[in-house]
Amino acid sequence: MAREGTDSDTVARIRLLGRLAIERGGEPVQLPTRKAEALLAVLALRPGVAFTREWLVALLWPDVGEAQGRTSLRQAVAHLRRALGTDLFASSGDSLHLEPGRAWVDAAELERVLARPPIDREPALELFRGPLLDGFPAIEDPFTTFVADERLRIGQRVVDRVEECLAALSAEGKLDRALAAGTWLVGIEPTRESAHRAVMQLYLEQGEAALALRQYERCRELLDRHLGLRPSPETERLRQSITARSSSPPRARPEVAPESVSGSGARTLLVVEPFEPHAEDPSATLLARGLVEDLITELSRFRQLAVVSAAAERAHAAEARPRTGLALSGSLRVAGGRARLTASLVDRRTGLTLWAERWETRHDDFFGVLDRLTRNVVAALALRIDEARLSSARSRPRERLEVYECWLRGLECLRRGTLESDEEARGYFEQALALDPTFARAYTGISLSHFNDWSCQAWERFHERERLAFEYARRAVELDAGDHVTQCILAKIYIYRREFALGERHLEQAVALNANDADILMHAAVGFAHLGHADRAGALTDAALELNSCPPDWYYPFAALARFFARRLDEAERLLLRAPDGLVDARAYLAAICALRGDRAAAREHLARFFDHFRTKIVREQPFAPVEATRWVLQVNPLAVESDRAFFLEGLTRAGLEPP
């Protein structure tokens, strides 16, 4: 076998799962023709396997004569060698293959991971970004059939092997990791009932019967929508078992003893007292009990809280121990077709009321009322607890901050949106890791600080910041896959890397893990808008604004994005005009909106402001060509759907931006 060329220092990275992506030396590579990309995909799918030139010509150039086909093959190989290095491909006689030691290929790595013992296959969840060559333009048969067959083979193999991994993790008691694998499986194959049952069982083992029943409802809906079928008898039996267990006296939740968290620094102890029902309607007592149970369940989704019921707290309490943490209590009145709830939060050490609020809703159905009241209380409470803890942290020396307070102070720095504040934020997150190396949120925070630099600030160090943002976000999810915040930030970074299938999968997990965190719903909405799901994005922004009735300024541009890509330009403009003026691409969107409506004067005004912000914040007073601003705004708005990109670009060019 003869090698051709000597580029021994170059290693290529080839991603075939999801959208085709090629790198050499850390830089993206664009091949000049689709046939060259198709040839690379065929060779990379099986590194080290020799393909005859005759077979490759028949696969890729079936409609031309053999001589012309071989000429086209030689030209495609020349394109590959020029782009990726001459020693990446080797020939032997009339055969050609890709050297396995000279390239990293995700499909080949996936095969190696799937061959491991079941419990060691979790890396497959990250490797499988989507179907083989997802979105690759159609090329004539037999290549199209070849890809379809390989896509089916790989997809079926990965879901079968990951389901075995799920079972192994569950058997070992690694429930959070098993749940991550289960939700991943459901995202990949929504009608796979066995995966839905596994997730239902895992929720039940964690004492979350309500979540298990919601998973059943999701399974039933997906089967009906995609296949027109009802759940199988096996799934129905599991549902009946869960229903029976949830209607009997609840088993003890694995509560954390108050003394084990009062000084940990990562979580705030919250004791949920029984809510007092008023007797005007007998249903008030039942509703009050259900509300306390649902509040404990939903508040437990917030990693910053250690939630216990008053009964559990009394069971752990010692006679002389001082009272610590916070207490939530309230009352519920049902009368005249209305339900009124009052709730208050008290510092148990000082007795001071930190927060109190009242809600009123129609009493049309039991579970509807329960869900509405629970969401209102949970969202408001989580925000107020964080605000109170941040206020306390600001008044103390930095060296006395606890783990979660470091997270809050770092997050506060990130929201200032400068390179200096990003650096300051990293200091707080690193301090949190010094206190607790397993605190996943700290890795998420470091990731966000690099993400800010990557997507907006440090334009000249784009690839370095991208790598750091991704590595820290992935580490956070490895440490705590059950945290909705870590899932959402990793999703955001995948979307900015144009790995849209993976981004959507992690967004779905983030929302499923906690639909009551208004901030994360807003971040998820931006992700879904970029993915082309404007209606879903709009629904999430509406939910976030309902949960947080006094939103911070940064909510408005996020909500505007959903309206813009839903082509609701007037609403998008009203929201953007409420956004902080320093957001660089907000002015680009305003210019596009005005231009699309035909208001050229307003478009020019917004465009001038955009150029001012771009000059001061992105290129830092360095000279720049106008087209560079266009490339930047398209880069930091990763749009998965070509029609959305074309719509945005049309508005920008009408406003006066130079097309890329």
Closest CA to 197 of 235, 227, 170: 235
Q: How far is CA 38 from the centre of its chain?
A: 30
462 has pLDDT over 80: no
Mean pLDDT of 580-598: 89
Q: Of 209-223, 286-300, 432-446, 572-586, which range is least confident?
A: 286-300
Closest CA to 585 of 562, 623, 613: 613
At 330, the pLDDT band (50, 70, 90 cuts) reads confident
Q: Is 105 helix (H, G, I), strand (E, B) or coil?
A: strand
Contact between residue 120 and residue 181 where contact means Cβ atoms under 8 Å apart: no
If you average pLDDT over every residue of the chain, what do you get?
84
At 647, the pLDDT band (50, 70, 90 cuts) reads very high
Contact between residue 26 and residue 17 where contact means Cβ atoms under 8 Å apart: no
pLDDT the model gives residue 255: 40
Contact between residue 456 and residue 618 where contact means Cβ atoms under 8 Å apart: yes
Largest CA distance in the chain: 93
At 75, the pLDDT band (50, 70, 90 cuts) reads very high
583 has pLDDT over 90: no
For the whole model, what pTM was predicted? 0.60
Between 487 and 129, the more confident residue is 487
> For a pLDDT cut of 70, what percent of the chain falls above it?
89
248 has pLDDT over 90: no
163 has pLDDT over 90: yes
How crowded is residue 604: how many other Cβ atoms within 10 Å of its Cβ?
15
pLDDT the model gives residue 82: 92
pLDDT the model gives residue 6: 36
220 has pLDDT over 50: yes
At 523, the pLDDT band (50, 70, 90 cuts) reads very high
How far is Cα 505 from Cα 388, in angstroms, rounded to an integer? 33
pLDDT the model gives residue 109: 94
Q: What DSSP character marks residue 454?
A: I
279 has pLDDT over 80: no
Between 354 and 120, the more confident residue is 120
Q: Which residues of 102-136 are buried (b: 16+ CB within 10 A; e: fewer)?
A: bbbbbbbebbebbeeebbebbbbbbbbbbbbbeeb
Mean pLDDT of 370-376: 72
Q: What is the pLDDT of residues 84-103, one digit of tens each?
A: 988 899 888 889 999 988 89
364 has pLDDT over 70: no
pLDDT the model gives residue 570: 94
Torsion sign across C-alpha atoms 459, 462, 468, 469: positive
142 preceded by a cis bond (ω within 30 of 0): yes
How far is Cα 502 from Cα 470, in angstroms, rounded to an integer? 13
At 4, the pLDDT band (50, 70, 90 cuts) reads very low
Sheet holding 103-105, edge to edge: 27-28, 21-24, 12-15, 103-105
Q: Of 125-139, 278-292, 521-535, 578-592, which range is least confident?
A: 278-292
Write the burial class of residue 10 (CB in 10 Å: 0-12 exposed, 13-18 middle, 19+ buried): middle
pLDDT the model gives residue 249: 43
> For a pLDDT cut of 90, what percent of the chain falls above it?
37
Phi, psi angle pair for 332, to nearest 5°: -135, 130
Measured CA to CA in angstroms, residue 615 lies from 588, 601, 610, 619, 658 at distances of 13, 21, 9, 5, 16
Q: Which domains does the chain have, with CATH numbers?
A: 1-183 (1.10.10.10), 190-248 (no CATH), 258-371 (3.40.50.10610), 581-660 (no CATH)
Q: What is the pLDDT of residues 7-38, one digit of tens each?
A: 344 478 999 998 888 988 878 888 999 999 99
Contact between residue 87 and residue 67 where contact means Cβ atoms under 8 Å apart: no
pLDDT the model gives residue 5: 35
Closest CA to 364 of 346, 388, 337, 326: 337
pLDDT the model gives residue 33: 92
Q: What is the pLDDT of residues 375-406, one digit of tens each?
A: 777 777 777 777 778 887 888 888 888 888 89
253 has pLDDT over 50: no
